[in-house]
Structure 1
Amino acid sequence: MNIANVGPVTHRSWPATLHPGVVRVALLAESFLPHMNGVTGSVLHVLRHLAEAGHETLVIAPKAGDVTADLHGARAELLRSVPLPSYPEVRVVFARAARLGALLRDFGPDVVHLASPFVLGWQGLAAADALKIPSVAVYQTDVVAYAQKYGLPHATALVAGHVARLHRRATLTLAPSSASTRQLEELGVDRIRRWGRGVDAERFAPERRDDAWRERIAPQGQRIIGYVGRLAPEKQVDDLRALAGMPGTRLVIVGDGPSRPALQKAIPDAVFTGHLSGDTLASVMAGFDVFVHPGESETFGQTIQEALASGVPVVATGVGGPLDLVRSSVDGWLYKPGDLDDMRERVSDLVGDESKRRAFARAAREAMRGRTWEALTGDLVTHYQDAVALRRIDDNMLLRGGPRPSGLSASRTRGRWMRFVALGDSLTEGLCDASRMPAGQFRGWADRLAELLAHTSDVGPFRYANLAVRSRRVRHLIDEQIPAALALEPDLVSILIGANDLVGPAPVLPAIVAEVESAVRAVRRTGADVLLVTTFLPRRAAARLFARRFAAYNVELRRIAQEQGAILLDLEAVAEIGELPLWADDLVHLRSSGHRLVAYRAAEALGVPDAAALLGLDEALHADADVVRGGWLTRDALPWVWRRVRGRTAGDGIVPKHDGYVELPTRGDRESARTS
């Protein structure tokens, strides 16, 4: 696709983060009004709640007819489209990238939201990339399964490849369920966040039940089994034939689609209402006694949520989106996929047991109370925030020549630690961080982190050791620091090392990585946790000489963290770490503000509450007053070269500043002191 004529945006620069206020969102929808389906419904809900929160929106979608619905102030650009021959409700837009680029440039969005992207979504993604706009791709339609259902085995691999490329290219992907998350991960997609769907719990409610409608549909008091959805092969509505003729029941099928004529012939006793929406649909849904959902390719299952909100127990296939919605034996049943006898038995169980059905109905309604579109749209804006930050990281990584990190952090909370040992080189020793320290002594990020961990502990004592020494390499980690650390029996060990190896002549990366992995493995075998920290560089021309080495090394550290169960502090993914004001005059070490940033990012990775907010407070209270002294060449560069020529390092003769544990006061200690 030719995107050469989509020039960069000049009237607007994309922020590193979205600040409180108006967010401008361009939504590209693969499907839109007047055709109503799950994608269209989700887009309309998002438009409404973004507008209510004061944000501005643009909708770019296929034109399929007149749109009279309320778009909640959104500007709409509906593009010429053609219907799929076998499925006219689905429209395909073949828009030029220049056209999409012009629309985006004119609107100036903070983020591009791709709703169930495939054709238009791919074109919009190309335009957004050319303009360097962050993109959020919402995975909502399992088109791979659809290709299989429609008997296109040769196209399935092509479709899967396209889906994988599209979502890997997007800045961030939102998946609605654990099943869809696993599916995307198997396709090699990274940066996946969970984002479900909201439900209108005011419209879909038990109070909407219409006894007069029930009397017309089931005049002999039969129990009503209902289905709501598109009548198409991928929905497997044909499976409902297994429920035909069930004693004392009436089957009601709500919806329309290409399979309707065949279904009416196959299930002649069922009631087919056609497409329903709004209050009419809510009233019919609340009139069901049991809702059945047979589709096996659902990424979520919005009608399941609506049934549950209506106080109707659900019987659904035990695969895909329903797994996250239906609590088997609590508010419904999950049956074995493809086992229609099991489906019929589960439905029969609820139809024949009124007390169980009522208990399931109460549990179903209660489960949906917190799943409002308002709350989900608030979460969506947070995901937009992540995408904006990640886009900036991606651009920086592209300049450095490395692959993009998988996310802002891979933080996990393990528990409370009481014995922390820091390993590494000058960065962990704390060189150039002389904040509130006697002359000739340094503080550093590890010292600051130890204080934060101690502060969050209710019991003591909290013990901390720092075995890091300037100029140390990975072989020193193996030969000296790991044995000394294990002797202290820590429950948390931080490892930040490798930079001195990587800036040396012709480093053997596999050997360095193998040694680091063996160090991590040795600590993890004791049951202690490891905080593994990626290396990073200042944003200066000279650093580009080593950028590819550092990027390749960090890729291996991420792998080690995942395979060995370490907690990853991915500083390479923190864009601001490269900014020169955070670096000392020698442009090799961090100054106090840089060490503060690392300490609080580490605390965040370890699950310390409100670490980001505490960083802002710390910066405000302890602004650096670093003074530049002398020239970098004579003060820093030439002494370093002279030491190398003589085969010496700055760490010769230096011993660790805390080679044994020091005790730090905990929050519990301070509270005890106040009460005594």
Structure 2
Amino acid sequence: MTESFLPHMNGVTGSVLQILSHLERAGHDAHVIAPDGVGIPGEVHGAAVEAVPSLALPGYRSVRVGTPPARHIAASLRRFEPDVVHLASPFALGWRGALAAEHIGVAAVAAYQTDVAAYTQRYRIPIATGIAESHIARLHRRATITLAPSPDSAQQLAELGVDRIRQWGRGVDAERFQPVRRSTALRAEWGSEVVIGYVGRLAPEKQVEDLAVLQTIPGARLVIVGDGPSRPRLEVLMPGARFLGHLEGDALAAAMASFDVFVHPGESETFGQTLQEAHASGVPVVATGRGGPLGLVRMGMDGWLYRPGDLEDLRMRVADLAGDARKRRAFGEAGRDAVQGRSWANVCAQLMGHYDEARELRTVDTGLRARRQMRPDPGAPAVPRTWRRYVALGDSLTEGLCDPGPDGALRGWADRLALLLAARGGLRYANLAVRSKRVRDVCGGQLARALELQPDLVSILVGANDLVKSTVDVPALAAELEGAVARLRSTGADVVLVTPFLPRRRAAAIYARRFAAFATALSGIAARTGAVLIDTDLYPSLPDRPNWGEDLVHLSSRGHRFLAYRVGEVLDVPHADALGALDAVLHENEPIGAGLWWRRHALPWVWRRLHGRAAGDGRVAKHDEYVYLGRSSAPRDVSVH
């Protein structure tokens, strides 16, 4: 599944074509799902190409963004029955692919190739950076493993909370790109002693305008290969440069080998395929000391890395090579030697190993999934588990703020879940959650009381109040919470662990990275302790405005109902999905709270913060003792306090 494909040729498309060629030679079956576009082929290297509905990307009419819903992708995967789903540079279509692979229980390998978050900064839309980072994190957490092209990109992903990262680079076609492709005809046409070349998209994220400082190097000329929305502006900015437009195949190889120095100024490269192609062509490289080039350019051996953003340093490094033909030859030969072991055959063989590992890990993951945890024998027919004592821990979300009942008392998702569970034959239920509480509160007083109540089911939804503080130590929070989960599990209780979530609002985007990192940590806790993980990222409609109350920070009644039914589905509550759909229809005209948000909610919150207070100060849990939910009176149970 690829975000980009033929006829649009770029690094992602090139990688996919090489992988398909390798799969064909090795006798594997392949199927391609890609955004539809004019000229897309129906088959490539023996693989059928399934074109899905798409929209053109603004500014790049040739670039299409796939738009089919995840259920359509899941249906396509079921028809093909893959062993592995490869997500090539996933973002939009890849997200749906990750969900679909998860839904049908197939391993997903996500190949990180495009730093979308960096692109939002280059296009001067910083508000989208947090959103992009959150999306990247949740997508790659859904994948079985993530393939990072360089150590720098692996570190970026780790900082976003992504785990199971493996390094996998890109191959280079050393037969096509080699020094013998150097063209005397091109050199005569370009007419200069030293040619400084660039190959790539002409777009803001590539920072091609930085090359303007090279125009004054004596005896040198800029030759730029590529096209894109920035080309008209760049032609004005660099009138002495030669713009060749888009080249590919042998024409590109001839141009690359005819350069004397190759320069790439982009700071958002996760790898740098053109740097490898320059080295294969025997051309020394000057690139920014950030991202993918750090793993491809050896300082003082086959090129130079300049300080990111320091254009004087860029000019000095290029001038050094432009003025020394012997150094250029030495660097070029070293670069050519360095790429000899990076053939596509070798790289694709490594990829097959990653596929095998993903399949093994998926088997492990499947054994830890919630539904399997409810069954003593995974091979036996599903028998719904029945719980008799349920305790809910957490903060205002579990207390039920913004979900008043007919009598004015708060309900909330946990109360609604308790009613679903009680339909199996009665349930004792306690809700110890109190607004404004944090992880330490749940792991302290709430945990102690829960242990006294001897539950057989406990739900925990907490962490949001910690994550929105000015500073937060996510690993420390996770470690504290893991201790509480382990204590509950040691008593024999099942634990439902719900990942905190944010509304779809601009103001929430600044916390997206923290929430993603915490969710990843909770996934690890669930795997180690056997807790049931409710990953709210699997429900992309949850952040939508109708699911949030008038204060814009708590779930509305609609949102509480939605979450209760989703948890019910995971716990195998009979007909939870159908009941949820019916409930949604019955409340479809329910008004969305708005109105006096500032006066009722924002200003009181600010006042409490200024005075060192919290909304939960002095409050006690609404159900500190068990209440019985059922059609008859509560049966006697001497073990319950």
TM-score by length of 1: 0.56
Q: After superposition, what is the alpha-carbon deviation per residue over 1:497-519, rounded to whole angstroms, capped at 9, x for unaligned?
A: xxxxxxxx99xxxxxxxxxxxxx
Report the Cα distance in structure 2 between the residues aligned to 1:129 and 1:317, rounded to whole angstroms.
38
Q: Please tell me whether residue 351 in structure 1 is matched to residue 322 in structure 2.
A: yes
Any residues of structure 2 matched to 1:121-520 within 5 Å, and which?
Answer: 121-218=94-191, 221-399=192-370
Contact 1:208/1:283 (<8 A) preserved: yes
Structure 1 position 547, deviation (Å)? 8.2
Contact 2:41/2:49 (<8 A) preserved: no
Shifted more, 208-217 versus 331-340: the winner is 208-217
Give the partner amino acid of 2:190: I
Q: Please tell me whether residue 49 in structure 1 is matched to residue 58 in structure 2.
A: no
Report the Cα distance in structure 2 between the residues aligned to 1:548 and 1:178, rounded to whole angstroms.
39
Give the partner amino acid of 1:284: A
Give the partner amino acid of 1:396: G
Structure 1 position 70, deviation (Å)? 7.0
Structure 1 position 97, deviation (Å)? 2.2
Q: Look up the SS of the partner of 1:29 in the other structure.
A: coil
Give the partner amino acid of 1:202: E
Structure 1 position 390, deviation (Å)? 0.8
Q: Look up the SS of the partner of 2:348 in the other structure.
A: helix
Report the Cα distance in structure 2 between the residues aligned to 1:548 and 1:271, rounded to whole angstroms.
68
CA 1:312–1:103 in structure 2 vs 1: closer, same or farther (change >3 Å)? same
Q: After superposition, what is the alpha-carbon deviation per residue over 1:78-104, rounded to whole angstroms, capped at 9, x for unaligned?
A: 112111223323311210222211211
Structure 1 position 68, deviation (Å)? 5.0
Report the Cα distance in structure 2 between the residues aligned to 1:270 and 1:384, rounded to whole angstroms.
45
- Determine the structure 1 residue equivalent to 2:71: 98
Q: Look up the SS of the partner of 1:56 in the other structure.
A: coil
Report the Cα distance in structure 1 between the residues aligned to 2:116 and 2:189, rounded to whole angstroms.
38
Q: Look up the SS of the partner of 2:147 in the other structure.
A: strand
Q: Look up the SS of the partner of 1:258 in the other structure.
A: coil
Report the Cα distance in structure 2 between the residues aligned to 1:216 and 1:69, rounded to whole angstroms.
39
Q: After superposition, what is the alpha-carbon deviation per residue over 1:54-78, rounded to whole angstroms, capped at 9, x for unaligned?
A: 1111000001211359711111101
Percent identity (aligned) = 59
Q: After superposition, what is the alpha-carbon deviation per residue over 1:381-423, rounded to whole angstroms, capped at 9, x for unaligned?
A: 1101111111111111224999xxxxxxxxxxxxxxxxxxxxx
Contact 1:401/1:548 (<8 A) preserved: no
Q: Look up the SS of the partner of 2:68 in the other structure.
A: coil
| Alignment size in residue pairs | 396
Any residues of structure 2 matched to 1:554-569 within 5 Å, and which?
Answer: none
Report the Cα distance in structure 2 between the residues aligned to 1:246 and 1:380, rounded to whole angstroms.
43
Report the Cα distance in structure 2 between the residues aligned to 1:293 and 1:91, rounded to whole angstroms.
26
Gaps (5+ residues) in structure 1?
A: 1-27, 403-504, 507-542, 552-569, 576-676
- Determine the structure 2 residue equivalent to 1:36: 9
Contact 2:42/2:50 (<8 A) preserved: no
Contact 2:150/2:270 (<8 A) preserved: yes
Report the Cα distance in structure 2 between the residues aligned to 1:245 and 1:270, rounded to whole angstroms.
11
Q: After superposition, what is the alpha-carbon deviation per residue over 1:7-62, rounded to whole angstroms, capped at 9, x for unaligned?
A: xxxxxxxxxxxxxxxxxxxxx10111111111111111111111111111100000
Report the Cα distance in structure 2 between the residues aligned to 1:328 and 1:296, rounded to whole angstroms.
17
CA 1:105–1:400 in structure 2 vs 1: closer, same or farther (change >3 Å)? closer
CA 1:247–1:129 in structure 2 vs 1: closer, same or farther (change >3 Å)? same
Q: Which has the larger radius of gyration?
A: 1
Q: Look up the SS of the partner of 2:282 in the other structure.
A: coil
Report the Cα distance in structure 1 between the residues aligned to 2:330 and 2:494, rounded to whole angstroms.
61
Q: Look up the SS of the partner of 1:288 in the other structure.
A: coil
Give the partner amino acid of 1:59: V
Report the Cα distance in structure 1 between the residues aligned to 2:197 and 2:323, rounded to whole angstroms.
16
Q: Look up the SS of the partner of 1:66 in the other structure.
A: coil
TM-score by length of 2: 0.59
Report the Cα distance in structure 2 between the residues aligned to 1:254 and 1:276, rounded to whole angstroms.
7
Q: Look up the SS of the partner of 2:369 in the other structure.
A: helix
Q: Look up the SS of the partner of 2:90 in the other structure.
A: coil
Structure 1 position 155, deviation (Å)? 1.1
Gaps (5+ residues) in structure 2?
A: 374-452, 455-488, 498-524, 531-641
- Determine the structure 2 residue equivalent to 1:24: none
